[in-house]
Amino acid sequence: AGRNLACLFDPAMDPAMDLALAERRRLEADLRRAIAQDELVLHYQPQVRPGRGQLFVGQPSAGQSPDSQHADGGPLEGRLVGFEALVRWQHPSRGLVPPGAFIPLAEETGLVVALGEWVLRAACREAAGWARPLKVAVNLSPRQFQQIDLPERVLAILTETGLPPDRLEIEVTETVIINDMARAMTVLRRLKSFGIRIAMDDFGTGYSSLATLQAFPFDTIKIDRSFVSQLEQRPAAAMIVRAVLGLGRSLDIQVVAEGVETEGQMLFLIAEGCGEMQGYLFGKPQPVEQIAGLVAGERPVAAERRET
Ligand code: C2E
Ligand code: MG
Ligand code: MG
Ligand code: MG
């Protein structure tokens, strides 16, 4: 129940709590089996860089207003730069389970370390086989960062799979850094020394300061979806996005906008000089077989037309 206080729990007194506990234990055992038996699967979400005369084109679709084309009339174009790997659990009876439903439990129980290694190995193996040298971004949890030999483990996976280190980007959240600054610094510096790229995920939702941002060796800042989604409704959200883009420019850190869903958001971001974007507008996370055409460059990444 807390420091130096253990509390005896009698299931007869609180059947609801007993049920919740039993459910958790079952989920934990299930997850342990899932990792061992390859029930996990990665979905990949495209990351694109806006620009012209390159690979992707938002196909003008029926009913599209003329001003949804870019100001000078040309189609909106951009280039596919890589994918973020996002884990799902192909549960035998529950179906496809999203990470929000099991990552927190995996983190609490420490299972996330084995799960994280599975994810890294699978992402590196799959990316190593792609027809073009696109980047793959992998999320690492705070618990994984408590392993002081994490960089060596990652390096071993790169060697095993043959993926060049500069094609891997590790995404960490602010929690990783806040937990233990000294350790995070050591681990991130070592990963960087191998040539691996480092991204700060969900920027703006935690408590890290400007000092943290410039002290740590980040290549990328990902602006959290909560700001991007409010761009057009809340002037404050637009101001924050603009400020983060300015910060990225002055610190020479690449900024990626997460959760771009509408053309209005995309146009705002382009106008403000945002280098990279990710979101349903360009594609949802998809199984590896479904991104093969994109990877090979046979199929353009089309910005889906939606009402804003
Ligand atoms: P994240 O790393 O910030 O990943 C982005 C999440 O936003 C993904 O949810 C993605 O599907 C979703 N998303 C992307 N674009 C849009 C959009 O335009 N609109 C909306 N509404 N959502 C969008 P997902 O796949 O459910 O993952 C949720 C979180 O779970 C991730 O957030 C990440 O923190 C964690 N996660 C996922 N895979 C892993 C993993 O392999 N290891 C660890 N430790 N965490 C993971
Ligand atoms: Mg992420
Ligand atoms: Mg994120
Ligand atoms: Mg997030």
Ligand 1 near 229 CB (within 6 A):
no
Please state the atom number of ligand 1 nearest to the C-alpha of residue 86: 38
Give the closest ligand to the alpha carbon of residue 47. 1
Is there an atom of ligand 1 within 6 Å of 276 CB? no
User: What gap in Å lies between CA 69 and CA 84, rounded to an integer?
Assistant: 28
How far from 187 is each of 153, 172, 177, 181, 230, CA to CA, in Å? 11, 12, 10, 10, 34
Give pLDDT < 50 ranges for the chain.
Answer: 53-73, 307-308
| Alpha helices in 165-273, H assignment, sequence order | 174-179, 181-193, 210-215, 225-228, 235-251, 263-271
Rg over alpha carbons for the chain, rounded to the nearest Å, is 21
Q: Which ligand is nearest to the CA of 137?
A: 2
| Matching residue, tokens 């890290």 | 208
pLDDT at 62: 37
Helix (H) or strand (E) holding 256: strand 254-257
Ligand 1 pocket, 119 CB below 6 A? yes
**Cβ 1 vs Cβ 7: under 8 Å:** yes
- Return the residue whose CA atom lies nearest to atom 16 of ligand 1: 259
pLDDT of 248 reads 94
Q: Which two tokens stand for residue 6?
A: 């253990």
Q: Which two tokens stand for residue 143?
A: 């618990």
Measure the CA angle with vertex 282, ends 277 and 284; round to 5°: 105
pTM: 0.88
Whole-angstrom Cα distance, residue 127 to residue 82?
A: 10
Establish whether residue 201 lines the binding site of ligand 1, counting it when its CB lies within 6 angstroms of any ligand atom: yes
Find all residues with CB under 8 Å of 65, minimum gap 6, and list them.
Answer: none
Ligand 1 atom closest to the Cα of residue 42 is: 41
Task: Answer whether 49's CB lies under 8 Å from 276's CB.
Answer: yes
Please state, in angstroms and rounded to a whole number, the distance separating the CA atoms of residues 11 and 8: 10
Tell me the CA–centroid distance for residue 90 and ligand 4, in Å: 21
Measuring from atom 19 of ligand 1, which residue has the nearest CA?
259
Cross-strand bridge partners of residue 86? 43
